[in-house]
Copies of this chain bind each other. A is one copy, B any other.
Amino acid sequence: MGVRDITDNQKSIFYLLTQDEKEELQHHISLSHYKKNEFVFKEGDKPTGFMILVNGKVKIFKEGVGGREQIIRMTKPLGLIGYRALLGEETHNGSAVTLEESLICNISAEFIFNRALKNPDFSYRIIRKLCQELGFSNARTVTLTQKHIRGRLAESLILLADKYGYEHDGFTLRAYLSREDIANLSNMTTSNAIRTLSTFANEKVIAIDGRKIKILDANRLERISKLG
């Protein structure tokens, strides 16, 4: 993924801007580089613009009771960051931190409000994106509150596979999170994430080697997520 993809890649939200709009967009873009584990913004910050992840991985999380963090979602290249707060005219209600070295493209709020949102195709694409994310969030609320530990962890692993895919071997998750992040994604303590991953490994559902996780039996994992 590169900066060009922001206008030229079908998956980018800006793909269907008119040629004119795309040209103007160029004048409203700036790029920022982030190291691993760097904050992009913090809960309570005022949004500065519309951000697109060009390269890397970012987690968006909220601090809960006693500072315990819950990862709300994770972003892959061409994904949007912090747009909810900007478009909703609110402050950020979660924090964003890079999981690896990342490149983020910042588009001025002015361009979004005065140009992009005047284009109904763009607006509608934003609306669809928000609707989908809202559906996802509602579903997560239910599974995170109702499923048991095994089910929650299995769901998280499936989520990671869906979002980041596999390495060339077809088994290894293309995401190398700490156990703590896996726990924060799955609403459990780090100990329980470690313990349950070990159990899954014993059951040959996955194989673990440090942060490398191989999904050996995706069907079984799916079943654990649904029923466990």
Contact = CB atoms under 8 A, between A and B. Distances in A.
A33 B174 CA distance: 51
B87 A128 contact: yes
A123 interface: yes
B90 A135 contact: yes
B137 A141 contact: yes
A131 B86 CA distance: 9
B141 A70 contact: yes
Which residue of A88, A93, A132, A140 has the most chain B CB atoms within 10 A of its CB atom? Answer: A88
A72 B141 contact: yes
A42 interface: no
Interface in A119-159: 120, 123-124, 126-128, 130-135, 137-147, 151
Contacts of A87: 127-128, 131
Nearest to A61: B142
Interface of A: 62, 64-65, 68, 70, 72, 84-85, 87-90, 93-94, 117-118, 120, 123-124, 126-128, 130-135, 137-147, 151, 187
